[in-house]
Structure formats: C-alpha cells, structure tokens
C-alpha cells in the first residue's frame, strides 16, 4: 500500500444510510470541502436496534455485503457520517486505524462527542457542551447547489410568477402535521396568488398522511389559480420546485426540509405543527424534570427558538444569518481536521 504524503489529498468516505435527510447532510459537507470523496452506501441488519452505546466500535450491525465491501476496500483517512446507525461503523474504522483516522459526525450520535473529531449539531439535540461540538442554527443541505434536470424545470415554465411553494411533512416522534393550519395556509396562499396573478405549488413527503393529501388534491383541482401538486419520486422534482419558487412555506416538523428552504436564500415561513400524544406526555415530563433542556432524542422547540432568533417564524422572511456565513463557520472548523498530515494506510 502507498503512504499518504503530506501533499496528498486525504481519502474521505461519506457514509450513507437509509434516511435521505441524513445522507444529504453528509454529501453536502463532503462536496463543500472541494476534495475527492467516496460514497459508501451502507445497509444494516436488525442489530442496528441495539444502538451505538451497546454496539460500541463494531461492524456487526451491517449486512454481510456491507461488511465485506468495507473490509475489502482501502481504509479512509477520514469519515463523514450522520444518524446514530453509522456511529458504530465510524468508530470501528477508527479503531482499525489505531486511532489515526479522523471522523466527523453530523447530527446526534447518541454517545459522547469525544468519540469524534467533530460533531456538527443543530439546536434540537440534547448534546452536552464539548470542545468537539459545533452548534449550527440550521442543517447543512444541498438545496443551494443541486441542479435540477432541464426537462424537469421545463414543466414549470407555464406556471405563473410569483410562485409560492408549500412543503408538507408528516408525523414524527413527538409532532404531527396540524391539518387545519396546513389547509388554512393553502387557502391563504390561493388568495394571495389570485391577488398577485401568481400560482401555488405544493409538494408532499413520504410521511404526509393520505387523508391530508387527498384533501389537498381536491382543493387544488378546484382552485381558480394555476397550481402544481407534486409527490416524492415524481415530477416536478423537489429540487426543481425549490429552485423555481419565489417563496417557500414548510410545515415545521422537519429540520432537513426547513433547512433546505433556508439554503435557497428565498423568503421562508413555517407552518405550525402540533404535539402528538407521546409528545404531550414526554415533553411534560421532561419540562418538569429538566426544564430548559431539550427532550431526548430531539426537541424541535429548541430548533424553532433558534430560527426565531435569526428572523424565521410563521411570517415569510429571509434569515439574518446567511447560508454562506453558516457554511463558512462549518468549513472553518472542518479544515483543520482535514488538513492534518495523514498517516500510512492501515488494514483491517
């Protein structure tokens, strides 16, 4: 094997899993470094449910094919990971290197940040203060750099400006879409489009309830203004909608979708969501026992408070913290890790 010289680019692995939002953050960071990187699409078995604390530094939660793919390849100098499933894998790679491999994790690893060279986290996660933690107001995404297919964009040419986009999520652990607030937002957007001679575009997500989707489709079919209703996997694509819109509203249940909207640099507004039954129970208990601290494993209220501090709320507005400033803060912390002299290649 060859030794990575002082001037050689480090071998970077972007560890991807099953969640699109997590994967987009990993790829966005890897692309922002302007260095070559390899995508490692990992698949996990049922042992993933044990969690990173019990799994430790191991590959046992990977499927046989993923374990073989990693073990047979030249090891990386640095990994970029996201989501708790990848934690055991990133730690195993570091252990096999004798601790010389660098690791960057995006999100909540559910173990102490000291196991990584850097943890990049948004405000909803209950992560203790640590020298290796970088807290960002919103998540890193590819929304500002993704280039939609030209044919996909062409479908939207007949749609009149201003184009108002609504992105709809769905139920999560502690929150669920507020159907009445969402439908009320659509009604207000239709009125606005009629007054301005514009149009509205709506896209759902895999988590959007079927009943709500059916109701939205019915409303848009009978609207007096041009409308577009998109779904995941169809056209126009999410990337085309983001790029072609003039303003964006999002249900507030998804950090990744809200961050996508902010990274476009367009006016953004949040559509309030409501607590699930579990959310009422858990947050009531946590607020009583640990007031002022985020509920485990994430507390969107902390995210919304951070957004409000930079000017993002229910009213359409652009944040007073630009995406370029946020990216610069991240890169300034990552570059010293990536820029270190790299050790000789190691084997498993």
d(CA 49, CA 104): 22
pLDDT tens digits along 200-210 = 999 999 999 99
d(CA 297, CA 135): 16
d(CA 164, CA 225): 12
β-sheet with 163-167: strand ranges across = 227-230, 199-203, 163-167, 247-251, 268-271
pLDDT recorded at residue 313: 96
Rounded to the nearest 5°, which phi and psi values hold at 202?
A: -125, 135
On whether residue 344 sits in a domain, the answer given is: no
d(CA 236, CA 258): 19
Residue carrying the six token digits 């993002």: 312
Give yes or no: residues 220 and 296 share one domain.
yes
Residue carrying the six token digits 């367009």: 266
pLDDT recorded at residue 98: 81
Question: Hey, what are 231's tokens?
Answer: 């779904």
d(CA 289, CA 293): 9
pLDDT recorded at residue 277: 95
Give yes or no: residues 283 and 173 share one domain.
yes
Residues of the chain with pLDDT under 70: 1-7, 144, 146, 340-348
Give yes or no: residues 228 and 288 share one domain.
yes
Following CA atoms 210, 215, 217, 223 in sequence, which dihedral angle do they give, to the nearest 10 degrees?
A: -170
pLDDT recorded at residue 229: 96
Give yes or no: residues 100 and 167 share one domain.
no
d(CA 322, CA 339): 26
Provide the CA 260 distance to its chain's centre, in angstroms.
Answer: 8
pLDDT recorded at residue 96: 86
d(CA 101, CA 327): 24
d(CA 120, CA 139): 9
β-strands 274-275, 12-16 pairing: unpaired
On whether residue 212 sits in a domain, the answer given is: yes
Give yes or no: residues 247 and 272 share one domain.
yes
On whether residue 68 sits in a domain, the answer given is: yes
Classify burial at 291, counting beta carbons within 10 Å of its beta carbon; exposed 0-12, middle 13-18, buried 19 or more. Answer: exposed
On whether residue 45 sits in a domain, the answer given is: yes
Give yes or no: residues 204 and 264 share one domain.
yes
Give yes or no: residues 161 and 113 share one domain.
no
On whether residue 343 sits in a domain, the answer given is: no
Counting the structural domains of the chain, the total is 2
Give yes or no: residues 213 and 312 share one domain.
yes
Give yes or no: residues 84 and 115 share one domain.
yes
On whether residue 103 sits in a domain, the answer given is: yes
- SS3 for the chain is CCECCCCCCCCEEEEECCCHHHHHHHHHHHHHCCCCCEEEECCECHHHHHHHHHHCCCCCCECHHHHHHHHCCCCCCEEEEECHHHHHHHHHHHHHCCCCCEEEEECCCCCCHHHCCEEEECCCCCCCCCCCEEECCCCCCCCCCCCCCHHHHHCCCCCCCCEEEEECCCCCCCEECCHHHHHHHHHHHHHHHHHHCCEEEEECCCCCCHHHHHHHHHHHHCCCCCEEEECCCCCCCHHHHHHHCCEEEEECCCHHHHHHHHHCCCCEEEECCEECHHHHHHHHHHHHHCCCCCCCCCCHHHHHHHHHHCCCCCCCECCCCCHHHHHHHHHHHHHHHHCCCCCECCCC
d(CA 308, CA 313): 6
pLDDT recorded at residue 7: 54
Q: CATH number, domain at 105?
A: 3.40.50
pLDDT recorded at residue 154: 77
Give yes or no: residues 206 and 102 share one domain.
no
Round the average pLDDT of the chain to a whole number and report it: 91
On whether residue 177 sits in a domain, the answer given is: yes
- Residue 31 neighbours by CB distance under 10 Å: 14
Give yes or no: residues 25 and 118 share one domain.
yes
On whether residue 7 sits in a domain, the answer given is: no
Q: Which domain holds residue 177?
A: 150-320
Give yes or no: residues 204 and 292 share one domain.
yes
């Amino acid at each position: 094997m060859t030794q990575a010289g002082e001037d050689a680019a480090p071998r970077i692995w972007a560890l991807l899993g099953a969640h699109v939002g997590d994967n987009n953050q990993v790829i966005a960071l890897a692309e922002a470094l302007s260095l070559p990187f390899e995508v490692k699409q990992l698949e996990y078995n049922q042992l993933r449910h044990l969690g990173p604390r019990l799994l430790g530094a191991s590959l046992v939660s990977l499927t046989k094919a993923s374990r073989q793919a990693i073990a047979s390849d030249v090891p990386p100098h640095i990994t970029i990971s996201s989501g708790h499933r990848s934690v055991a894998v990133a730690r195993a790679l570091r252990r096999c290197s004798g601790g010389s491999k660098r690791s960057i994790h995006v999100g909540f690893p559910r173990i102490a940040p000291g196991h990584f060279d850097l943890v990049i986290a948004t405000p909803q996660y209950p992560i203790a203060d640590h020298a290796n933690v970088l807290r960002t107001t919103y998540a890193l995404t590819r929304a500002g750099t993704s280039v939609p297919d030209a044919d996909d964009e062409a479908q939207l040419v007949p749609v009149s400006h201003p184009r108002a986009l609504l992105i709809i999520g769905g139920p999560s652990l502690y929150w669920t879409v507020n159907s009445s607030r969402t439908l009320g937002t659509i009604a207000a957007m239709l009125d606005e489009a009629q007054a301005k001679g514009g149009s509205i575009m709506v896209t759902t997500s895999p988590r959007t309830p079927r009943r709500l989707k059916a109701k939205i489709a019915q409303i848009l079919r009978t609207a007096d203004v041009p409308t577009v209703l998109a779904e995941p996997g169809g056209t126009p694509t999410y990337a085309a909608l983001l790029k072609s819109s003039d303003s964006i509203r999002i249900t507030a249940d998804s950090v990744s979708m809200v961050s996508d909207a902010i990274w476009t640099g367009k006016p953004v507004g949040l559509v309030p969501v409501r607590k699930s039954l579990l959310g009422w129970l858990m947050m009531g208990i946590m607020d009583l026992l640990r007031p002022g601290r985020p509920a485990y494993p994430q507390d969107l209220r902390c995210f919304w408070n951070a957004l409000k501090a930079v000017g993002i709320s229910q009213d359409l507005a652009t944040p007073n913290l630009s995406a370029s400033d946020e990216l610069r803060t991240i890169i300034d912390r990552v570059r010293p890790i990536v820029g270190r002299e790299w050790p000789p290649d190691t084997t498993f």
